[in-house]
Structure 1
Amino acid sequence: MIEADVAVVGAGIAGVSVAAELSGHRSVVVLEQEAEPAYHTTGRSAAMFLESYGGPDVRALTAAGRAFLDAVGTLLTPRPLLWVAGADGLDRLAALAREQPALVPLSPDEAVALCPALRSSWCAGALLEPRALEIDVLGLHQHYLGAARRDGVRVLLGARVLAGRHTGGRWVLDTAAGPVAAAAVVNAAGAWADPVAAALGAPPVGLRPLRRTAAVARADGVDRTWPLVSDVAETFYFRPEGAGVLLSPADETPSEPCDARPDELDVALAIERVNAATTLGLRSVVTAWAGLRTFAPDRNPVAGPDPAAPGLWWLAGQGGYGIQTAPELARLVAASVAGGDVPAAVSVARFRRA
């Protein structure tokens, strides 16, 4: 029997960040079902730090975490975000501009000047987020994982949670790596968070894993200083990656929790859409992959104690915002588990059940 104050289920960015935040106050064990941490969504993310991405709660969480990311030092690289619209997307672009007045309106010519690969015949308008940043996702994960391990956190791999029961004021978990006992459990299992809750006898919250496909394609004349270019209608995005471009059709294909694989049709669709909006003429794909972005019904994170299950906390449903919101969500949940004050900056995240 392994015993700890807190058992965290999942060793992606959510699990290791909350484990690191808790490690100075509680003994912690992390339970990961795979043979390595960050195998699924975290390890396949090409995340950006975008303060204009997501709903108001997500944007507040993102903004509150910037100081932490800046303090770490080498995790952020400037990469402006250029929201672009074709003729049929101008209404949506105008709505985004009204909602977020900090975005800088650009004419089509100004947008093409920032990314000369854009077709002037396609681009009808644009908005710029000049402070957007690329995030070193694996660097951030390793920062948290290293900090947790230095504070004595144990990470058990191949430790899928099979069942659990709350008895005598603590949880006893049956895992593929043996029994684990803890006063508190944090369910940070990503796409598997609802199945983990079911194994513990807790009701699900209605999480939906959605597959997103990405690829890197060869392209000539790519300038590493180009911004991330994203269609305001969310039908594609692309950015420089090495000598080529990273691109996606921004798909959200419903999926069961699984080891996601890219669909050739989605890759082809991404190329078709980017080629229609640019002069890149993409054809040759270097590599492609897919990950699961898991959303709650309201598309806000599920973060906090479960009102139906004593001693169970959730940190799930981060959707496509899990990397950029990780610092503040980890602080929120860790503070709640440890019985301290929940930071006001992150109190916008609420526990929700379908």
Structure 2
Amino acid sequence: MSVDVLIHDVAIVGAGIAGASLAWSLGQRSGGALSVALVEMESQPGYHTTGRSAAFWVESYGGPGIVPLSRASRSFFTDPPAGFTPGPLLSPRPGLNIAPPDDAGELDALAAEFDQGGVAYQWLAADALAAYPILKPEWRTRAILESDSYDIDVAALHQGFLRGVNGWKPTLLTDAEVTAAVREDGIWTLTTRAGPVKARSLVNAAGAWADGLATLVGARPRGLQPLRRTMAVLIIDPPPPADLPVIFDAKGRFYCKPDGGRLWLSPHDETPDVAHDVRPDELDLAIVIDQFEQASTARIVKLDSSWAGLRTFTADRLPVFGWDGAVDGLFWCAGQGGFGIQTAPAAGDLCAALLMGETPMVEATPYLATRAF
């Protein structure tokens, strides 16, 4: 005896920040009228990139092409909808861009990029940088401070999207890796490890797995490249002050920030990889610890833990948002790289508007000129 399977309006493959924010925005824009399924291959949503992010909201991050999406997301972060989260999504955390002793113009180049994007910043001279004794004197000659930047509570943001809006929420299916997909009479049928899923529209929000899913459904891959990003958690002496800024080496060799009395340290690596449950490379950890020791007066007591995640980019480092153009009923929401969390509110709404044939928020529309299928 056959059992009828509910036909959803939209099935979103991938329940990380991209898929979750889009699902929430579909519920918001439709007033809960749309039936949305979030199809996640892992046992919990956000297991990969979203759950391994040290995200902070910095307007300049991602470059001029991404700045409009970050700006358009700001009001959501500072004033989230009632009931979205029990606490604030942002905590102030300035960004301090420092120059290595062999600075060959990296700070000036960074300032020029900020000027191009209209990003606010200020120059700090050696006297002001004396407030950061964690840095060796030769690294405190001048720096660029971005005061308008913040830590993001990633877990609260992600869970808020998954909870839905005004009593509506998407249907979340976990352990539901898609193994086959066909479209007949305007309906997609996905074969998953959790059972069949039917929907009128299919969204590819599969992150590092997005090109693989495209191939599975008969679409052209978009050249999405997963890049490994490593994080070390250090115990240092003295411990980092809780109000220490995020410190970026303008040469791109490391960044660090305090968290719970420990120091999170990344080599800012972008090592080409493949879609899998990625782990940190010991050589990357050794190199970044050495780089930090060259710049810092702090003594490293212990490598407390480490992890790695995949940040997936296109060749031009801009996301892929929109209808496929060749495969009917297929919509893309992929390639958000390392800025997917700080742009999630605007990106989710932009994709929801495009998917529903509505008008996106004005602040996000500059992005539309960057991508067309």
Superimposed CA distance per residue, residues 269-288 of structure 1 (whole angstroms, 9 cap, x where no aligned partner): 11111110111122411110
Tell me what 1:12 maps to: 16
Per-residue CA deviations over 1:202-247 (Å, capped at 9, x if unaligned) read 1100000001110110012221111000011211001112222110
Matched residue, 1:271: 289
- 4+ runs deviating over 6 angstroms: none
**Fraction of identical pairs, as percent:** 46
Return the match for 2:339 from 321, 326, 348.
321
- Any gaps of 5 or more consecutive residues in structure 2? 81-86
Helix, strand or coil at the partner of 2:37: strand
CA distance in 2, matches of 1:321, 1:170: 33
Partner of 1:224: 242
Q: Deviation at 1:111?
A: 2.5
Matched, 1:171 2:188: yes
C-alpha deviation, 1:88, in angstroms: 3.1
Return 214-223 or 324-333, whichever deviates more: 214-223
Question: Is 1:144 aligned to residue 152 of structure 2?
Answer: no
Aligned residue for 1:100?
Answer: 114
* 8 Å CA contact 1:236, 1:248 repeated in 2: yes
Q: Kindly provide the amino acid, as one letter, of the partner of residue 70 in structure 2.
A: T
- Give the superposed CA RMSD: 1.6
Amino acid aligned to 1:43: G
Structure 1-normalised TM-score?
Answer: 0.95
Structure-1 separation of matches of 2:128 and 2:103 = 17
Give the equivalent residue in structure 1 for 2:95. 81
Q: Distance in 1 between matches of 2:291 and 2:141?
A: 16
User: Which residue number in structure 1 is paired with residue 84 of structure 2?
Assistant: none
Q: How far has the Cα of 1:352 moved from its partner?
A: 5.7
- Pair 1:186-2:203 in alignment: yes
Q: Which of the residues 152, 168, 193 maps onto 1:135?
A: 152
Give the TM-score taking structure 2 as reference length. 0.91
Does structure 2 retain, via aligned residues, the 8 Å contact 1:90–1:125?
no
Change in Cα spacing, 1:260 to 1:150, as seen in structure 2 (3 Å) is farther
The alpha carbon displacement at 1:343 in A equals: 2.2
**SS of the residue aligned with 2:233?**
strand
Whether 1:67 aligns to 2:85 is no
Distance 2:205 2:141 in 1: 42
C-alpha contact (below 8 Å) 2:95/2:149 kept by paired residues: yes
1:2 to 1:351, Cα distance in 2 relative to 1, 3 A: farther
Q: CA deviation at 1:190?
A: 0.6
| Distance change >3 Å, CA 231–CA 246, structure 1 → 2 | same
Is 1:48 paired with 2:48?
no
Q: Secondary structure in 2 aligned to 1:121?
A: helix
Which residue identity is paired with 2:216? A
